[in-house]
Amino acid sequence: MARAALSADAVVDVALRLVDEEGPGALTLAAVASRAGVATPSLYKHVRNLAELRALLSVRIMDELFDRIGSAVLGRSADDAVRALMLAWREYVVTHPNRYGSVDQGPDPMVSRAANRLIDVMMAALRAYGLEDSDAIHAARCLRAAVHGFSVLEAQRGFQLPEKLDESYDLLVHMVISGLRTPAPGA
């Protein structure tokens, strides 16, 4: 990469390729600089430090995920929206396991804004179930935990039994949707 072409976005592009190829643990300023063909101090013109690079990387990844699931749920509601969200999220994680695994959900304000966009699309997908206030938050947490947990386990090859993963995931989607349609005990 030519030095003149270096920018914060270009540094994030290089970091994404590094993470995709070598995993989240490989992300260092020295590794990014080496891949960009510059000395490490040259990166400081574009990112303050590794923490900022991790935040920028996390925002980029969450924005990609938002675009993917947002497109999937657009024009859908209730069961169709939740199913589309769950399928798109899983597909992203399985396609980009290292990228997804490098998301840092620390307190950085720009990361929080990106995370809130994901929450907003989940809440929109859940709106048709009539959930409000804390009930909607609990449902969104459960939805996220189900998708995240299954997808990460799949990406890390955590399922070793011979049954087909797509069938297991279809069952999970069915269980989540059934749970959204059934009031929780004590509700």
CB within 8 Å of 134: residues ≥ 6 apart: none
Same domain? For 90 and 175 the reply is: yes
Q: Confidence band (pLDDT; 50, 70, 90) for 105?
A: confident
Q: Is the pLDDT of residue 147 over 70?
A: yes
User: What mean pLDDT do residues 139-167 have?
Assistant: 96
Q: Which run of H or E residues covers position 181?
A: helix 165-181
Number of independent structural domains in the chain: 2
Same domain? For 15 and 104 the reply is: no
Q: Is the pLDDT of residue 107 over 90?
A: no
Q: Is the pLDDT of residue 137 over 70?
A: yes
The model carries a pTM of: 0.92
d(CA 61, CA 177): 26
Tens-digit pLDDT profile for residues 14-69: 999 999 999 999 999 999 999 999 999 999 999 999 999 999 999 999 999 999 99
Nearest CA-CA partner of 122 in 155, 101, 146: 146
Full domain range(s) for residue 32: 1-47
User: What is the overall mean pLDDT for the chain?
Assistant: 94
Same domain? For 106 and 130 the reply is: yes
Q: Which of 1-10, 11-20, 104-113, 167-176 has the lowest mean pLDDT?
A: 1-10
Same domain? For 72 and 129 the reply is: yes
Same domain? For 85 and 174 the reply is: yes
